[in-house]
Amino acid sequence: MSEACSTVVLGVDGGGTKTIAVLSDLQGRVLGYGRAGNCDIYNNPYAVDEVVRAVEQACALAGIETDRIANAVFSLAGADWPEDFAYWQAALQQRRLGHDIKVINDAVGVLNSDLPEGNAVVVVCGTGAAIGSRNLNGDTWHSSFWQLTQGGGELSENVLRAVYRSALAIAPPTSLTMPVLEHHAAASVEDLLHMFTSRERERQPRRASLVPILFQEAERGDPAAFEIISQHGRALGDFAIAAARKVDIADKDFHLLLAGGVFRNPSMIMRTSLLDRMRQYTNAFTVFDSRSEPIKGAVMAALRLQSCNASLEVSTMLDSTFPPICFFESA
């Protein structure tokens, strides 16, 4: 058996909603994949167990043991400070999830996906948000706790605030109210507020679940919905420019990748507000839309760690052998 077929690499992408693990050979052929829950160490004490569960599923599907994994790259939300990387490195080595293990922040991981080499900024907007940047020298920066604009979770919180303010006549009526009440099976806005704040509530509603309603009502012309999205886009644009400055590419040509579930919505409101904000500072960027799930960046990084030429053919093979899109979707 050739080295390209016998060597196995692992990529893991993990965040506050889900953890995805993918095993690949050196040709980019996916051998197995697994999925688990929230692996953010800042809000889940069992985060490491979730990563292990996803990797074990992938190994079971591939029919291999974890000791077959040569290189492994873990692209993780919550890998922010030096002590976070040390924690993950020790935990993953203890569980022997790869002979050569590298932990990176999830924003940096996405920089390895769907972008040409060179200067780049990536804006990821999913349940949370993350921004990463790199320059030609390979220097990188990620937004980490500098990031004050937090994706679909924050957008959903702002939807609720708009509904509450409208109910109190502090703000004008909003068409967000009825679909939000229907979504949460609430009889009234007060019932909705009680649902989210009661100390006896049975479960916490999913953080980003109101984003489709928000975009729907914004496209229908609701001023409150439109402003929530536009303001979020402008804020992301500010952080994207800051990220470019951090690696000294703000005055140079660079690639801009827009990734994450929020950007997959067909509405152009957020995209337009983000780009318009960035163009107040520079026009020297080329926009790329992510064609892939974030996990691709982790697998590509693992292939490069193996000194594999992560060519267009390898990238195309990954795309064609990844699991179906429904595997990645959040419930």
Instruction: Please check the confidence at residue 207 and state whether its pLDDT lies above 70.
Output: no
**Distance between CA atoms of residues 235 and 213, nearest Å:** 21
Q: What is the pLDDT of residue 203?
A: 63
Q: What is the pLDDT of residue 309?
A: 66
Instruction: Please check the confidence at residue 282 and state whether its pLDDT lies above 90.
Output: yes
* Higher pLDDT, residue 69 or 311: 69
Rounded average pLDDT over 279-297: 93
- Tell me which long-range contacts 270-275 makes (C-beta under 8 A, separation of at least 24): 270/125, 270/229, 270/230, 270/232, 270/233, 270/236, 271/233, 272/233, 273/229, 273/230, 273/231, 273/232, 273/233, 273/234, 273/237, 274/123, 274/233, 274/234, 274/236, 274/237, 274/240, 275/237
With cut-offs at 50, 70 and 90, classify the pLDDT of residue 226.
Answer: very high
* Higher pLDDT, residue 22 or 330: 22
Mean pLDDT, the chain, whole residue set: 93
Cβ-contact 22, 30 below 8 angstroms: yes
Architecture of the domain delimited by 146-289: 2-Layer Sandwich (3.30)
**Distance between CA atoms of residues 117 and 128, nearest Å:** 26
Instruction: Please check the confidence at residue 122 and state whether its pLDDT lies above 90.
Output: yes
- Class of 3-107+292-327 per CATH? alpha beta
Q: Which residue ranges does the chain devote to CATH 3.30.420.40?
A: 3-107+292-327, 146-289
Q: What is the pLDDT of residue 16?
A: 83
Rounded average pLDDT over 17-22: 94
* Higher pLDDT, residue 127 or 172: 172
